[in-house]
């Protein structure tokens, strides 16, 4: 049925791949894609998605898609068991329609489903919109970022006095030009020298340690349920990790037509699984990493980390060894590895403690999310952050 006014359509998660095939076939009349093909394939295979779970909401004026709200079904584990949760993922509205409350209509439609909803990765405007719809704050996630660009000592003075630069445009132009030169000529040499030292330290520490690079997580040697130190956490077991590894959302140098607003193609992108090999250990420690190169900036992110406390030092040096091979400009780490970085050169100088904000909307006053909000333990992989 054709509509001449605004309306919302919902697509089930299991139907996203077939929906996207039909959408692309008739895409000449559309300005945007509501999801990339690779995301559609991946999310159609989400092991946490039940047959009736929603995976995408679309806002239409007539036959034209003007905005969308992605949904990633997941699970919340509490002492009461597992409960369904809907993660808000990529959302976008065409600029010319942003004053028509398309985002509000999409979110209200999502809220009307009566599911527990969680969102992260939003900007200030997005956060204000969610708060206006009575979303509640979860305790923020704290994590560490090692910023190798801090080694650019020559460029550091030009990054300061930001307000003064805004006041004097000529000074801002001079500072930007100076930063471009130091980033091009000084910083790469400083980064290579630093990683040469780190790689030598890593090889020394890891002498005698055994590990392997895997393409998946072994279902038989890893606990099927994620352990929670508190009363509640979002479920992230081997089944979900292997699903992510098998169906990456990001591919090298590809593009969707009609265009997809969110990044789906990096210059480089890959997942890496490093598993410790220790005799007599039924559940060996492992770390899942993503490495990416986009617009000349290389990043290494820890997505999943399962290890005993005594294995944290070894895991940390494995991560840094991988970062040295990549020549990573940024390394994102869980806060629990902070103490194991003490022996890393300049770690205290390079490390920045950061927070990721989460907002949620319980489906009812008696839902698992509503009951356990203060006790939820967050992880770096929570939400769609692990996939991109």
**pLDDT tens across 370-379, in order?**
999 999 999 9
Angstrom distances, CA of residue 30 to CA of 62, 69, 71, 81, 217: 11, 16, 21, 43, 40
| pLDDT on residue 224 | 42
Contact 5, 61 (CB under 8 A): yes
Residue 121 DSSP symbol: S
The β-bridge partners of 360 are: 118, 136
| CA gap 54, 249 in Å, rounded | 18
Residue 191 token pair: 């980064």
Question: What local confidence, expressed as pLDDT, does residue 266 receive?
Answer: 84
Nearest to 209 by CA among 287, 311, 289: 311
Q: Domains of the chain (ranges plus CATH)?
A: 6-140 (3.40.630.30), 143-357 (no CATH)
Nearest Cα residue to 387 out of 228, 225, 251 = 251
Percent of the chain with pLDDT over 90: 73
Residue 8: per-residue pLDDT: 97
- For residues 166 and 125, the model is more confident at 125
How far apart are alpha carbons 387 and 166 in whole angstroms? 36
| Nearest-angstrom CA–CA distance, 164 and 144 | 29
Pairing outcome for strands 6-12 and 54-61: antiparallel
pLDDT, tens only, 10-53: 999 999 999 999 998 887 789 999 999 999 999 999 999 999 99
Concatenate the DSSP letters of all residues of 202-235 into one string.
HHHHTTT--EEEESS--TTTS-SS---SSSEEE-
pTM listed for this prediction: 0.90
pLDDT for position 154 = 76
User: Distance (Å, rounded) from C-alpha 137 to C-alpha 22?
Assistant: 38
Cβ-proximal residues to 103 (8 Å cutoff; 6+ apart), any chain: 67, 69, 91, 93, 129
Distance CA 247, CA 236 (A): 16
Residue 88 and residue 307: Cα distance in Å, rounded? Answer: 29
Identify the weakest region by mean pLDDT among 225-234, 306-315, 323-332, 353-362: 225-234
The token pair that represents 187 in the structure block: 């910083």
Report residue 162 as tokens: 């930001």
* pLDDT for the residue numbered 341: 95
Distance CA 111, CA 319 (A): 40
- Residues 289-311 have pLDDT tens digits of 999 998 889 999 999 999 999 99
């Amino acid at each position: 049925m054709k509509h001449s006014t605004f309306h919302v359509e919902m697509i089930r998660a299991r139907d996203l791949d077939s929906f996207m095939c039909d959408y692309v076939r008739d895409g000449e009349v559309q300005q945007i894609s509501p999801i990339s093909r690779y995301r559609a394939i991946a999310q159609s295979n989400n092991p946490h998605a039940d047959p009736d779970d929603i995976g995408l909401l679309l806002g239409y004026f007539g036959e034209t898609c003007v905005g969308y709200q992605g949904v990633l079904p997941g699970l919340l584990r509490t002492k009461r068991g597992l409960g369904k949760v809907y993660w808000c993922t990529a959302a976008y509205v065409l600029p010319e329609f942003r004053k028509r409350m398309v985002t509000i209509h999409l979110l209200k439609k999502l809220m009307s489903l009566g599911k527990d909803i969680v969102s992260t990765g939003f900007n200030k405007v997005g956060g204000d919109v969610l708060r206006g719809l009575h979303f509640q704050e979860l305790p923020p996630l704290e994590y560490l970022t090692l910023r190798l660009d801090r080694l650019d000592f020559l460029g550091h003075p030009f990054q300061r006095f930001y307000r003064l630069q805004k006041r004097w445009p000529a000074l801002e132009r001079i500072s930007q030009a100076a930063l471009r030169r130091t980033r091009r000529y000084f910083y790469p040499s400083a980064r290579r020298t630093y990683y040469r030292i780190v790689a030598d330290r890593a090889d020394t520490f890891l002498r005698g340690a055994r590990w392997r690079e895997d393409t998946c997580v072994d279902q038989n040697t890893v606990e099927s349920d994620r352990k929670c130190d508190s009363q509640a956490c979002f479920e992230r077991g081997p089944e979900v990790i292997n699903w992510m590894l098998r169906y990456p959302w990001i591919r090298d140098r590809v593009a969707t037509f009609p265009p997809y607003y969110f990044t789906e193609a990096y210059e480089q992108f890959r997942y890496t699984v490093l598993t410790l090999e220790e005799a007599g250990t039924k559940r060996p420690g492992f770390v899942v990493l993503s490495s990416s190169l986009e617009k000349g900036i290389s990043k290494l992110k820890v997505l999943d980390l399962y290890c005993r406390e005594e294995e944290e030092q070894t895991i940390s040096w494995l991560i840094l060894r991988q970062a040295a091979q990549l020549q990573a400009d940024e390394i994102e780490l869980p806060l629990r590895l902070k103490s194991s970085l003490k022996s890393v050169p300049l770690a205290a100088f390079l490390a920045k403690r950061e927070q990721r904000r989460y907002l949620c909307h319980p489906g009812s006053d008696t839902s698992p999310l509503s009951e356990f909000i203060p006790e939820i333990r967050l992880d770096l992989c929570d939400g769609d952050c692990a996939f991109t």
